[in-house]
Amino acid sequence: MGDYRRLWHFVARYRFAFAVSLGAAAMASVLDGLSLVLLIPLFRLLFGASTPVAAEGPPVEQALGQLLAFTLPDRAGVTVGGVVLVILGVIVIKNIAAFGAGALSHYVQEAVSRDLRMTLHRHVHRLDLASLGTMRTGQLLSRLLTDADQAKGIVSEALVTALRHVAVVVVYVGLLLGLSWRFALVTLIIAPLVAVGLRPLLGGIRARARGVLDERGEMMAIATESVEGMRSVKAYGGERQESRRFGAAADRYFRGMVRVQSLSAVASPVSETLGAIVLVLLLLLATTMPGLTLRPELFVAFATLSLRLLPPVKRLAQFPTQAEVALAAARRIFEVLDRPTEGDGDTARAVPFRGLGEAIEFRDVWVRYEDGDWVLRGVDLRVQAGEVVAVVGRSGAGKSTLADLLPRFVSADRGAVVLDGRRIEAYDRTTLRRGIGIVDQHPTIFNDTVRANIAYGDMAGVDDAAVVEAAIAANAHDFILRLARGYDTVLGERGTRLSGGERQRIAIARAVLKNPSILILDEATAHLDAEAERLVQDALVRISTDRTVLVIAHRLATVAMADVIVVLDEGRVVERGRHEELVAGRGVYSQLHALLADPARKPQVVGNFERSV
């Protein structure tokens, strides 16, 4: 019931449309039953009776007589044409009500699906990076796109269609009892067998529905990986391997869906068989049991109502199956929504970050991801405001993790990060990130214009002059003007229309426009050729003035100009000092410098540094 209540929270936002939909569905059900029992006076008049209803007929027939007398006040009496007009009028109004119920129902469904997607999307953006790292992209996309569509089925099947069928059953049962309570008992005894006969099937469907959704997510994850890594797939001849991986996942999803659909398909023949049994029993009773006979027109109406009663009963019997599939999708969404967000640990007394005034301090900081090994081990480091500090070390030494502590992408498991004498947790997370600029080796370029990519997020809407000024500072203005539409050029997905150096300079311009007091440069010149590196390096030097800068790099030319160089090894600070001091020593940095100064020497295990061109 907890999942139903959580879904109802989304439906409740549209309670008026939902209520009107239910009201219109109930009206359509009543009018549908009325159109069927109106066959009684029609058949009587067609078969030559002088009156549309019998004087001693059942209660339903007497009510029909009053209805016809009210709708057709003709002194000459009720005619076949008049009854036909009433039937047509009832059918028209019924279909208008049914259309309104369906339209409003679909509106509520799609609104719930949209709200689920938007809620999940917002929540994902509030998750910390460590939590996001445990989820595969394809599985997340499957929840965001497919599961949100599946979950909306609970609105149509459980909350609208099911209730509409309940209204149909109630109306039809009332009419059957009004025609012949004895015959109605037979129908009411047999009809529930539809639900009882189908119930054993539901357990297997419930067990498999969740597994099928997981397999679909896995299939989407594999497809996403292979498309995003297409260059590597082609470069290493992995087409067959990826085809096998995707084919295996698609086959598992196919077999799971076949099992679920096969179990669901059994419901229809079972219910049809039970319906035939009901009709045969009614015929036997009508022809063999004394005292249970009905006039022909009453029997036709009763049999028609009985058969029309079975489909809604069947749908109600199938409801648990369809609802379970929708709930399985909803549970996968709720699993993500239940993950704690970045702000869960924040206090209401958080102070705004107004820029670094004194220093950044890492005090005995320990960090690890999930239950893995420690990435940082007792790091003690002080960065004075206005200093340029370079962090170097082997791949996996903890350089990026150290930088990620400042914007609170990760949190220290032990120790503390202190800014201007306050623990970093005391600062408002939003204003803290506004005061930090980040340029990494794989900058994110969105499928939007150059202007929108530079003036992104908090900077959206700034005037064009500020955007151009930032681009000039980043050495990006000249190549932007050479693009087809200048600053209005759409850069394509991931900035595929730009070179690596051009993407970096767009990211630098974004950081310049932000005007942060703390700047993090994470391998910002990696994988660039000499000319691109020179342009990017020149831009980085320009924007580093009067800012506190944390540089993560493995090219010595990038770090040699730093005020302080910190060497990390296996998560620990093993050396610190200026370039000249560290070269003069006999530590890791000195060995590295000597190796790169003489490329002919035999390589040693000194990290992932590269000789700068």
Over residues 272-285, the pLDDT tens digits come to 666 666 667 766 76
Segment (H or E) for 285: helix 267-288
**Which range among 65-79, 92-106, 551-565 shows the weakest confidence by mean pLDDT?**
65-79
495 touches 503 (CB < 8 A): yes
Q: Is the pLDDT of residue 253 over 90?
A: no
CA atoms of 451 and 468, how far apart (whole Å): 9
Q: How confident is the model at residue 365 (pLDDT cuts 50, 70, 90)?
A: very high
Within 10 A of 146 (CB to CB), how many other CB atoms are there? Answer: 16
The pLDDT value recorded for residue 380 is 93
Mean pLDDT, residues 253-258 taken together: 79
For all residues of the chain together, what is the average pLDDT?
77
374 strand-pairing partners: 368
Mean pLDDT, residues 514-541 taken together: 74
The pLDDT value recorded for residue 601 is 44
Q: How confident is the model at residue 502 (pLDDT cuts 50, 70, 90)?
A: confident
The pLDDT value recorded for residue 605 is 37
Q: What is the per-residue pLDDT across 195-208, written as a single tens digit (0 to 9) for each?
A: 565 555 555 555 56
CA atoms of 387 and 406, how far apart (whole Å): 15
Count of alpha carbons within 13 Å of 118, Cβ hemisphere only? 7
**Phi, psi dihedral angles at 363 (to 5 degrees):** -110, 105
Higher pLDDT, 35 or 560: 35
Q: What is the per-residue pLDDT across 126-171, written as a single tens digit (0 to 9) for each?
A: 777 766 767 777 777 777 777 777 777 666 556 667 777 787 888 8
Mean pLDDT, residues 544-551 taken together: 84
Question: What is the spatial order of strands in the sheet that 518-522 belongs to?
Answer: 436-440, 518-522, 548-552, 388-393, 564-569, 572-577
The pLDDT value recorded for residue 612 is 36
CA atoms of 394 and 568, how far apart (whole Å): 8
Q: How confident is the model at residue 43 (pLDDT cuts 50, 70, 90)?
A: confident
Provide the whole-model pTM.
0.69
CA atoms of 235 and 446, how far apart (whole Å): 25
The pLDDT value recorded for residue 344 is 59
Q: What percent of the chain has pLDDT over 90?
A: 8
519 touches 552 (CB < 8 A): no
Q: Dihedral sign for Cα 35, 39, 45, 46, please.
A: positive
Mean pLDDT, residues 316-341 taken together: 75
CA atoms of 279 and 12, how far apart (whole Å): 41
CA atoms of 332 and 144, how far apart (whole Å): 10
CA atoms of 215 and 212, how far apart (whole Å): 5
The pLDDT value recorded for residue 603 is 40
Q: Is the pLDDT of residue 599 over 50?
A: no
